[in-house]
A and B are shown apart, each in its own frame.
Chain A
Amino acid sequence: MSVSTGTVYVYPNENDFILRARAMDATGGEYDISLIGETSGFVEKLLNPFFENVVLRTALRNIWKAYQYDQEYISYLLNTWSKDEFMEKAKEFAQSFEEIDEDQLHYGANLILNTLDQPLTSAEISLFFNVDPCSLNQSSSILVEYCPDDMGPE
């Protein structure tokens, strides 16, 4: 039996399992070993709140930025800002799309859908992560597109 003592973390694969060792008596001479489950599932459950936190903080930052921009846009539409003034404001909010790993994007999109509990198109979901809507569509085959009745042909 080999024992790994290295500090490099190896992501669990399908051959990793978590075992429970229980001393059978006070001397600790005999142990009962039982299988808890696959390591990957256990680790995912353990880290899920952390991942959710990261996704929701990202989404909150992006939506807050969108809200602030919308305030400026409304001011422009109400003629409070001239077009030149608005363009200067808009430049402050402009940023490039993020490139997010496909799995992370899929996880984040699912989390947003479940949190809001309402249909969203991929174009709308893209706002939460500042990504190109097209990339979201390509990465999320099982998300596909919510298609309410009123979006179809008449």
Chain B
Amino acid sequence: MCKANQTPAAIEGSELSVTGQDIKTHGPPKKLGDSGEIVFQLTVYKRGESAILKENSSKRSRFREYSFLDKSSEISAPLLWGFSSNPLGIDDIEVGGRGRTSSHPGQSATIVGTCFMEIIKGWRGNSLLTHPKETLLR
């Protein structure tokens, strides 16, 4: 079992738990290059956590070489992105269950199939506190 809260870190499995305070679906589905399988993207903004509930039958990294593959391995970060081969349905995101805090009811979901979640922004490391456009050339 491994844990990470900083990039690069990812998890892969056949069933993952996803919790946070703002879970959103994310754009059109993607076609995986190796198999042609389609997957549905999601992002988790604010206090994102994801853990492996069921491992893949073949324990090899498919999407990132640094992916955790063991059951109960988890990642946590302010911004997670990933996908599953099953789209989220209308009742798939539970509000007020896992992920709740004293100030937020929290959101949680379980994704199944070909599942992958990755840290896009970790808890530590550099981040800009002002709009990046101020540092860019116009």
The answer on a CB contact under 8 Å between B118 and A134 is: yes
The answer on a CB contact under 8 Å between B38 and A90 is: yes
- Specify which of A66, A90, A95, A147 is in contact with B127 (CB 8 Å cutoff): A147
Query: Nearest Cβ in chain B — how far from A40, in angstroms?
Result: 14
CA distance A91 to B45 in the complex (A): 27
Which residues of B have CB within 8 Å of A145?
A: 79, 120-121, 127-128
Q: Given contacts A114-B138, A151-B78, A154-B101, is CB(A73)–CB(B25) below 8 Å?
A: yes
Q: Given contacts A93-B28, A94-B31, A113-B136, is CB(A153)–CB(B101) below 8 Å?
A: no
Which residues of B have CB within 8 Å of A113?
A: 131-133, 136
Q: What size tier do the contact residues of chain A reach?
A: 35 or more
The answer on a CB contact under 8 Å between B31 and A96 is: yes
Which residues of A have CB within 8 Å of B3?
A: none
Judged by DSSP, the binding face of B is loop
The answer on a CB contact under 8 Å between B120 and A133 is: yes
Does B40 sit within 8 A of A, measured CB to CB?
A: yes
Which residues of A have CB within 8 Å of B38?
A: 90-91, 94
Q: Given contacts A94-B29, A151-B79, is CB(A146)–CB(B87) below 8 Å?
A: no
Interface string of A48-90 (1 = CB under 8 A from B): 0000000000000000011001000100110100010011001
CA distance A127 to B79 in the complex (A): 15
Does B59 sit within 8 A of A, measured CB to CB?
A: no
Query: Nearest Cβ in chain A — how far from B95, in angstroms?
Result: 16
Does A104 sit within 8 A of B, measured CB to CB?
A: no
Interface string of B1-19 (1 = CB under 8 A from A): 0000001100000000000
Does B126 sit within 8 A of A, measured CB to CB?
A: yes
Task: Identify the A interface with B (CB < 8 A).
Answer: 65-66, 69, 73, 76-77, 79, 83, 86-87, 90-91, 93-97, 110, 113-114, 117-119, 121-123, 126-127, 133-134, 137, 142-147, 150-154
23 contacts between A and B (CB under 8 A): A69-B27, A73-B87, A76-B89, A77-B90, A86-B87, A90-B28, A96-B31, A96-B33, A110-B133, A114-B133, A114-B138, A117-B133, A134-B118, A144-B128, A144-B132, A145-B79, A146-B128, A146-B131, A151-B46, A151-B121, A153-B123, A154-B47, A154-B103
Task: Identify the B interface with A (CB < 8 A).
Answer: 7-8, 25-33, 38, 40, 43, 45-47, 64, 78-79, 81, 87, 89-90, 101, 103-104, 118, 120-121, 123, 126-129, 131-133, 135-138
